[in-house]
Structure 1
Amino acid sequence: MKLYSAQVSDLTFDAATQQFQADVIFYEGGDQVTYAVELSAPFTASFETVSRGLMVRARAIRKQERGSSIASLKSIAAQPVQIRYGISPLA
């Protein structure tokens, strides 16, 4: 089993769509795969809540392609993905 790490990068908030947008980068061995993901959430949502939601979405995409070569993962990751989650800020 290969171990990997992940990172949320380039987090922005689009006020017009009320969505956070970020790149989630998975590092595996010497390779990396980046997924562009979006998350509908209020601007007041905590970074922890937002990053967790973005990571869950990116992991779901990655899981769908598990077993694929890193080259095919890079190809799939290059495609933009839009999601909607109903979350509320943590108290």
Structure 2
Amino acid sequence: MNDKKVYIVRCNKIIANVFDTKEKAFNSLPKKNDFTEVSQSVRTYDGEEAFIPTVDNFYLDTPIYVHVAEHTEEVMGLPIYYPQETCVYEIKEFNVK
């Protein structure tokens, strides 16, 4: 049998999407811009180590924190207010038979 893998993206413990590659799953996260910070931390022998994850360098099954700062953007001529928010994403790998 041919085993395949799928990658599930969870946002605040709710399934947000399913992808066939981990790169697609990571790229579905909100993009880093002037108002958005993305970070991931792992526990090492020296303690917690925080870093900015990239499509080539992130850990599966480990929380990815996406923090959006409070700001206002103009969309189609209307000001849209975005409150400060931190979402916890997680990308999990599953085998499908």
Q: TM-score range by the shorter chain?
A: under 0.3
Scaled by the length of structure 1, the TM-score of the pair is 0.25
Q: Is the radius of gyration larger for structure 1 or structure 2? A: 2
TM-score (normalizing by structure 2): 0.24
Larger relative contact order (CA 8 Å, sep ≥ 6): 2
In proportion to residue count, which structure has more strand? 2
